[in-house]
Amino acid sequence: MVFLVAAVTTYLLTFVVRRYANRIGAVVLPDARMVHEHPTATVGGLAMVGGFIVAMAVAYFMGGFSLIFHGSSEALGVVLAALVMAGVGLIDDLKDVSAPAKVAGQVLSASLLTFFGATMFYFRVPFAGVVVLAPSFVPLLTALWVVAMANAVNLIDGLDGLASGIVGIASFSFFIYAYKLVQLGSLSSNSIGPLIAVIVAAVCVGFLPHNFHPAKIFMGDTGALFLGLLMAASTSVVGGRTSDVSGETFFFFAPLFIPFVILGVPMTDMVFAIIRRTAKRMSVSTPDKAHLHHRLLQMGHGHRRSVLILWAWTVVLSGMVLIPLFTNRGNALIPVLLAALGIMLYTLFQPAIRSRTLAKPFPRVKLFLSRFSRLNQGRVRGNHFRR
């Protein structure tokens, strides 16, 4: 019920946001760095915020979530932190904000999570034991976690439907993972993590029909930073509070590693962007056209196909986590590895195959056009042609 409410509300609110974004001039114009060709409305993240708030209100009045909302301040902290983060993104969409100012806003949002207790308490290092976080260290780690998640989502938001699709797939996969932990008794039933994850998946599903290529509206920094904050909140309260599940698979034993796997595409893109810009002695916040999606376009993949390829990688990475959990067999990863191999071969070789296929059927047409071009050039110069 909460999933449906969040998805439908986001879908309907996006119509309203599109209308008023065009009226007030909240529009992204094409330029050398952008890949879209027409002026497009932005701040679509406001519809996501509306869907999230309505879904949280519905959950509050449903009896099944009473343990989450009563006796704990975490839900309030997540809502307030999400609103602050969306506000930081909205200001940046309407009026460019410097990178230090954006990071300061992200740290403020993380501080609200810390103040209301929506943070990790400890985490497990594989084969090394449990690391209990000192109270003085929690705010710093929470801030780093939030900044990393928010900027990873923001950097991958470069093609129509890319960020909303990847985050939707990853968050739904994380919901399944966290719900499994609750069933096993390894995660408390009053954890807010699964609820936040399923709402994030729902708002992405509701927004995607408006955002898939050709996009009618962009989520902007409003939506990207908002989604990053919610993913950071849900993963920290799950990954940082799971009790001992020894004897299960690696991903049960080390739940804090889950976000780095299911969000492998944006995380990898962010790491490469930092390394690339640092090596060129550029500011980390300096935009460029060398992200993963840009490279796919340069290889010859179209806009939609580039997005679908990166979606497919997110599905495969999520499968690496989920399939062993439900089968509890090591060889269960074989289909996932075969799917990864297939996607890799398709990514590398499909553009070349397509270009050769298009060139082969028309050799005589190309010969005729080349001769016709030379004939016209000769006539312009005043020459006469004999057979």
- Which residues are known binding-site members? 154, 221
List Cβ<8 Å contacts ≥24 apart for 373-376. none
Token reading at 198: 């399923």
Q: Going by C-beta distance under 8 Å and a sequence separation of 6 or more, which residues neighbour residue 5?
A: 51, 54, 55, 58, 202
| b/e sequence 184-219, b meaning 16+ C-beta within 10 Å | eebbbeebbbbbbbbbbbbbbbbbbebbbbebebbb
Q: Mark the binding-site residues for Mg(2+), compressed into ranges.
A: 154, 221
Q: Quick one: CA dihedral 268, 270, 272, 274, positive or negative?
A: negative
| Cα–Cα dist 54/10, whole Å | 9
Gap between the Cα atoms of 174 and 220, Å rounded: 24
Residue 158 neighbours by CB under 8 Å, 6+ apart? 35, 291, 293, 294
Dist. CA 339–CA 211, nearest whole Å:
27
Cα dist. 237→187, 301, 354 in Å? 10, 38, 46
